[in-house]
Amino acid sequence: MAAADWIVFDAYGTLFDLDTSVRRRDRGRALPAAFAREWRAKQLEYTWMAQAMGEYRDFWTLTGEALDWAISALGADAARREQLMDAYRALDPFPEAHGALRALGEAGARLAVLSNGTAGMLEAALRAAGLAPLLDMVISVDEIGVYKPDARVYRHAQERLHAAAAEIRFVSANAWDVAGAQRCGLRVVWVNRHGAPPEYGLDAAAVEVADLHGVHAADPPGP
Q: What positions carry a catalytic annotation?
A: 10
Task: Tell me the β-bridge partners of 111.
Answer: 7
CA 134 to chain CA mean position, Å? 16
69: which residues sit within 8 A by CB, 6+ positions away?
Answer: 42
Count CB neighbours of 165 within 10 A. Answer: 18
